[in-house]
Chains A and B, each alone.
Chain A
Amino acid sequence: MSRVIYDGQAIERGDLSVLDCLTEHGINIPSSCHSGLCQTCLSRAASGSIPARAQTGLKETQIAQNYFLACVCYPEHDIEVAMEDGVNKLPALVSGVKHLSADILGVHLKPQHPFNYRAGQFINFFKDENTVRSYSLASVPELDDELFLHVRKVPGGQVSPWMFEHLKPGDQVQITEPAGECFYVPGKPAQNILLVGTGSGLAPLYGIIRDALQQGHTGKIVLYHGSTSFGGLYLVDELRTLAQKHENFSYVPCISESAVPEGYASGMVLDVVLARQADLSGWRVFLCGHPEMVKSGRQEAFLAGASMSEIFADPF
């Protein structure tokens, strides 16, 4: 007989689903359709193997992180359900701090313990016990031996102005395990990929692009990065160099409010994208940055033909 392990408690499953087994023991997991469709009972396994049926219909990024649908999960062996609200703080050393533009600070961190992540996921950074902010990872595990964050200076913010002023190499800080579903999954090397970002939303996209290229992606990879002004764009030279090196990668920096020099597109980033990429059928789409851009971008990409399961987004 197999068991369900939850919060240190091992429960005999009998012939119940993982959901019903937990519910019967007073552990309330939100659920609705009980048919493996609506995804309300989406859970994550900390250990144990998951039957394929319990991952039907999930995104590849969710499958890669051991998510499953508890209502249709009947595992043959013991399975441990991850507790998502317990925060595990990990120590990291600040190994470098560098201005990428007037408003963006590049922060390099060396985690003090083994740290497994995928380029494009995010971590939470603790300024102190109660003040936490999420930052996406621009580094690629196979290429970089440190974590890279892009921190945008939020005027009046509680964390970013403090980082701009005080953070220096040698500082000990605390971060969390990586999370998020914005990352590259191999397996469809010829698929076209569209990436749209504003401000420091470039961080995860920069990681995803370099990850896809180092994994040998052959389809088109098209990046649109938008800002209100010329000064808000950064890594422009690095991205142009990358585009020269890789024929399948192209980069379009967009400026919406001020003078637009040669080599830059004029307009809100999403408008530029929609004018140039009218048909997104079959494309994989990543959207990161301003929450309003991400929200309308998700809808516009879907209406332009991208499949819902191929659109990945982070609203920061």
Chain B
Amino acid sequence: MSVYDEIGGEAAMNAAVDVFYRKVLKDDRIKHFFDGVDMARQAAKQKAFLTMALGGPNNYTGEDMRKGHAHLVARGLNDSHFDAVMENLGATLKELNVPGHLIAQAAAIAESTRKDVLGK
């Protein structure tokens, strides 16, 4: 059973994405990357990301991650920003009372996308 199923699947994701995206938009280190984006569309993408990190259904490839973030890499997206997102992910899951070992599992999946997201 994946973390995704364990914490309540799709329904839990809707609550999680609100908490997560709110943290991201309040984070001075990364919020400027979201200036001018369509928030509703962006929230759907954040939900897809969370679902993937929690081992839920997804078909993202490394290539998708690379293409999807290339314009942000051109604007200076680097490891420090990726770290900030990882921190917000951990804090979100903690706030939703996800047990520590499952948070670690989710962090490992998210971490595995670092190279592609940063275009390395």
Contacts and interface: CB of A to CB of B under 8 A. Distances in A.
A308 B40 contact: yes
Contact of B14 (A39, A299, A309): A309
A32 B64 contact: yes
Contacts of A298: 39
Contacts of A303: 22, 25-26
Given A34-B59, A309-B14, A299 B39 contact: yes
Contact of A308 (B18, B59, B64): B18
B86 interface: no
Interface string B46-73: 0110010000011110001000100000
Which of A302, A308, A311 has the most B CB atoms < 10 Å from its CB?
A308
A259 B79 CA distance: 51
A35 B51 contact: yes
A35 B39 contact: no
Nearest to A37: B48
A302 B44 contact: no
B59 A35 contact: yes
The interface size bin for chain B is 20 to 34
Contacts of B60: 33
A93 B90 CA distance: 59
Contact of A57 (B14, B25, B57, B58): B14
A35 B25 contact: no
A38 B18 contact: no
Contacts of B44: 37-39, 57
Interface in A29-51: 32-39
Contact of A302 (B22, B47, B51, B59): B22
A172 interface: no
A303 B23 CA distance: 9
Contacts of A33: 48, 58-60
B17 interface: yes
Given A37-B58, A308-B17, A308-B21, A57 B47 contact: yes
A53 B57 CA distance: 13
Interface in A265-315: 298-299, 302-303, 307-309, 311
A308 B43 contact: yes
- Most chain-B Cβ atoms within 10 A of its Cβ — which of A34, A36, A37, A56? A37
Interface string A11-38: 0000000000000000000001111111
A37 B51 contact: yes
Contacts of B47: 37-38, 57
Nearest to A71: B59
Contacts of B120: none
Nearest to B68: A32
A38 B43 contact: no
A307 B48 CA distance: 17
A35 B64 contact: no
A56 B48 contact: no
B39 A308 contact: yes
B83 interface: no
Contacts of A32: 48, 64, 68
A302 B19 CA distance: 10
A302 B14 contact: no
Contact of B25 (A37, A302, A307, A309): A302
Contacts of A39: 41, 44
Nearest to A304: B22
24 contacts: A33-B48, A33-B60, A36-B57, A37-B44, A37-B47, A37-B48, A37-B51, A38-B44, A38-B45, A57-B44, A57-B47, A298-B39, A299-B25, A299-B39, A302-B21, A303-B22, A303-B25, A307-B14, A307-B18, A308-B17, A308-B18, A308-B39, A309-B14, A311-B40
Given A32-B64, A302-B25, A309-B43, 17 more contacts: A33-B48, A33-B58, A33-B59, A35-B59, A36-B57, A37-B44, A37-B57, A38-B44, A38-B47, A57-B10, A57-B14, A57-B44, A298-B39, A299-B39, A307-B14, A307-B18, A308-B40
